[in-house]
Amino acid sequence: MSKRILLEVAYDGTNYHGWQLQPNASSIEAVLNEHLSALLKEDIKVIGASRTDAGVHAKGNIAVFDTNARIPAEKISYALNQRLPEDIVIRQSREVDPDFHPRRQKSVKHYSYQIWHDRFPMPIGQNYMLFLYIPLDIDKMQQAASYLIGEHDFTSFCSIHTEVVDKVRTILSITVEEQDSVLKIDVTGTGFLYNMVRIIAGTLLEVGKGTYPPEHLKEILEARDRALAGPTVPAKGLTLVSYSFERM
């Protein structure tokens, strides 16, 4: 009898072209499909919650798949981790309802963008942080972030290549904190557009540099014009920290 298995997946995205299957390129989805199919001796196709971009990392992305295998759900993580490359780890596996679909459930997602903010770069952890030596006003960045909290049309903060028509999303919280030269921009929300977090981070950095005042974020939002927001910062600083679902 078929059952649906949920995986909590952590990965270093440095060597992958994102989550989603790509022609002639390695992806997290492709690696999971390959090793699950070999382990369970079935043709397995996972469904991911977040299709993270090339170079983006995850501590807690979610995937589900269906299987007829008799191996207990909680044991799949142990068996699969013995086969996977070191930069992909299954943090847990468990059975969920047969109709559970990670992209059709109400959820809260937590992303973190990290910057090494010092005079010189740090070789340890450089695959996970953007390096900036320019002075930044952290207080003004936090003030600017407050304008983005709530339900808004985030057209100004998504890639022009975004295909979705409805660009209204809800951000629950944004924090900007620096400790021991590590600047973290943490964003929690119920849904995100293509490149949205990386553009938010790039825009807040422009405020920190003094390019424009914090209150200008309100004007950028209302303009619904991508050209007015800051740059899309590099993917390597972004990590999908966690997912939480209303129903599992």
Catalytic (active-site) positions: 53
Query: What is the rounded distance in angstroms from the CA atom of residue 17 to the CA atom of residue 27?
Result: 5
* Element (DSSP H or E) covering residue 203: helix 196-209
Label the pairing between strands 107-117 and 130-132: parallel
CA distances from 169 to 105, 187, 193, 218, 231 (A): 15, 12, 8, 15, 20
Query: What is the rounded distance in angstroms from the CA atom of residue 199 to the CA atom of residue 230?
Result: 6
Query: Considering only CA atoms, which of 68, 215, 241, 228 is closest in space to residue 158?
Result: 228
Query: What is the rounded distance in angstroms from the CA atom of residue 189 to the CA atom of residue 150?
Result: 9
Query: What is the rounded distance in angstroms from the CA atom of residue 84 to the CA atom of residue 218?
Result: 45
Cβ-proximal residues to 184 (8 Å cutoff; 6+ apart), any chain = 112, 113, 114, 115, 175, 176, 177, 178
